[in-house]
Structure 1
Amino acid sequence: MAKGHVLVLPMPCQGHVIPLMELSHRLADEGFEVTFVNTEVDHALVVAALPPGGAAELRQRGIHLTAIPDGLAEDEDRKDLNKLIDAYSRHMPGHFERLIGEIEAGGGRPKVRWLVGDVNMGWSFAVARRFGIRVVSFSPASTACIAFMRKIPKLIEDGVLNEKGWPERQETLQLAPGMPPLHTSLLSWNNAGAAEGQHIIFDLVCRNNKFNDDLAEMTICNSFHEAEPAVFKLFPDLLPIGPLVADRELRRPVGHFLPEDAGCLDWLDAQPDGSVVYVAFGSMAIFDARQFQELAVGLELTGRPFLWVVRPDFTPGLSTAWLDAFRCRVAGRGVIVEWCSQQRVLAHAAVACFVSHCGWNSTLEGVRNGVPFLCWPYFCDQFLDRSYITAVWRTGLAVAAGEEDGVVTRDEVRSKVEQVVGDGEIRERARLLRDTARACVSEGGSSHKNFRKFIDLLSE
Structure 2
Amino acid sequence: MDAAAAAPHVMVLPFPAQGHATPLMELSHRLVDRGFRVTFVNTEPIHALVLAALRPSAAGGGSGLPDGIRLVSVPDGLADGDDRRDLCRFVDALSRCIPGYVERLLRETKVKWLVGDVNMGMCFEAARKLGVRVAAVFPASAACLATLFKVPQLIEGGFFDDKDRMTQAFRSGTVRSSSPRGCRRSSRRRCRGASTAPSKDRKFGYQLVSRNTKAARRHAEVVVCNSFRDAEAAAFELFPGILPVGPLFADAELRRPVGQLLPEDTGCLRWLNAQPDGSAVYVAFGSFTIFDPRQFMELAEGLELTDRPFL
Which TM-score band applies after superposition, normalised by the shorter structure? 0.7 to 0.9
Distance 1:377 1:77 in 2: 22
Q: In structure 1, what is the equivalent of residue 75 of structure 2?
A: 69
Shift of 1:260: 4.5
Shift of 1:378: 4.0
Distance 2:69 2:12 in 1: 10
Shift of 1:227: 1.1
Distance 1:414 1:211 in 2: 39
Q: Deviations over 1:94-147 (max 9, x none)?
A: 12122233x34xxxxxx4111100011112111112222111010112111111
Would you say the 8 A contact 1:351–1:371 is kept in 2? no
Q: In structure 2, what is the equivalent of residue 203 of structure 1?
A: 207
- AA at the equivalent of 1:61: D
Q: Of the two structures, which has the highest relative contact order with CA contacts closer than 8 Å and spacing of 6 or more?
A: 2
- AA at the equivalent of 2:115: V
Shift of 1:30: 1.0
- AA at the equivalent of 2:199: A
Distance 1:115 1:231 in 2: 25
Q: In structure 2, what is the equivalent of residue 39 of structure 1?
A: 43
Q: In structure 2, what is the equivalent of residue 366 of structure 1?
A: none
Shift of 1:403: 9.4
Distance 1:77 1:62 in 2: 34
Distance 1:404 1:40 in 2: 32
Counterparts of 1:393-432 in structure 2, within 5 Å, are 406=298, 408=300, 412=304, 416-417=308-309
Q: In structure 2, what is the equivalent of residue 26 of structure 1?
A: 30
Q: In structure 1, what is the equivalent of residue 120 of structure 2?
A: 121
* SS of alignment partner, residue 134 of structure 2: strand
Judged with a 3 Å threshold, the aligned counterparts in structure 2 of structure 1 residues 232 and 94 are, in CA distance, closer, same or farther, namely same
Shift of 1:375: 4.5
Q: In structure 2, what is the equivalent of residue 352 of structure 1?
A: 275
Q: In structure 2, what is the equivalent of residue 159 of structure 1?
A: 158
| 2:81 pairs with 1:82 | no
Question: Is the deviation greater in 48-57 or in 60-69?
Answer: 48-57
Distance 1:351 1:29 in 2: 37
Q: In structure 1, what is the equivalent of residue 179 of structure 2?
A: 176
Number of aligned residue pairs = 293
Judged with a 3 Å threshold, the aligned counterparts in structure 2 of structure 1 residues 180 and 68 are, in CA distance, closer, same or farther, namely farther
Match of 1:374 among 276, 281, 303: 281
User: How does the TM-score come out when normalised to structure 2?
Assistant: 0.81
Would you say the 8 A contact 2:55–2:63 is kept in 1? no
Distance 2:93 2:178 in 1: 32
Judged with a 3 Å threshold, the aligned counterparts in structure 2 of structure 1 residues 174 and 352 are, in CA distance, closer, same or farther, namely farther
Would you say the 8 A contact 1:46–1:258 is kept in 2? no
Would you say the 8 A contact 2:280–2:308 is kept in 1? no
Q: Deviations over 1:231-290 (max 9, x none)?
A: 1111101101111135361511112112446xx5xx8xxxxxxxxx54xxxxxxxxxxxx
| 2:62 pairs with 1:56 | yes
Shift of 1:15: 0.4
- AA at the equivalent of 2:157: D
- AA at the equivalent of 1:408: A
Would you say the 8 A contact 1:173–1:184 is kept in 2? no
Judged with a 3 Å threshold, the aligned counterparts in structure 2 of structure 1 residues 67 and 176 are, in CA distance, closer, same or farther, namely same
User: How does the TM-score come out when normalised to structure 1?
Assistant: 0.56
Judged with a 3 Å threshold, the aligned counterparts in structure 2 of structure 1 residues 49 and 260 are, in CA distance, closer, same or farther, namely farther
Shift of 1:13: 1.0
Would you say the 8 A contact 2:10–2:112 is kept in 1? yes
Counterparts of 1:281-320 in structure 2, within 5 Å, are 305-306=270-271
- AA at the equivalent of 2:308: K
Judged with a 3 Å threshold, the aligned counterparts in structure 2 of structure 1 residues 85 and 181 are, in CA distance, closer, same or farther, namely farther
- AA at the equivalent of 1:21: M
Judged with a 3 Å threshold, the aligned counterparts in structure 2 of structure 1 residues 177 and 39 are, in CA distance, closer, same or farther, namely same
Distance 1:38 1:180 in 2: 42
Q: Deviations over 1:339-360 (max 9, x none)?
A: xxxxxxxxxxx3637xxxxxxx
- AA at the equivalent of 2:235: V
- AA at the equivalent of 1:8: V
- AA at the equivalent of 1:352: Q
Shift of 1:200: 2.3
Judged with a 3 Å threshold, the aligned counterparts in structure 2 of structure 1 residues 130 and 251 are, in CA distance, closer, same or farther, namely same
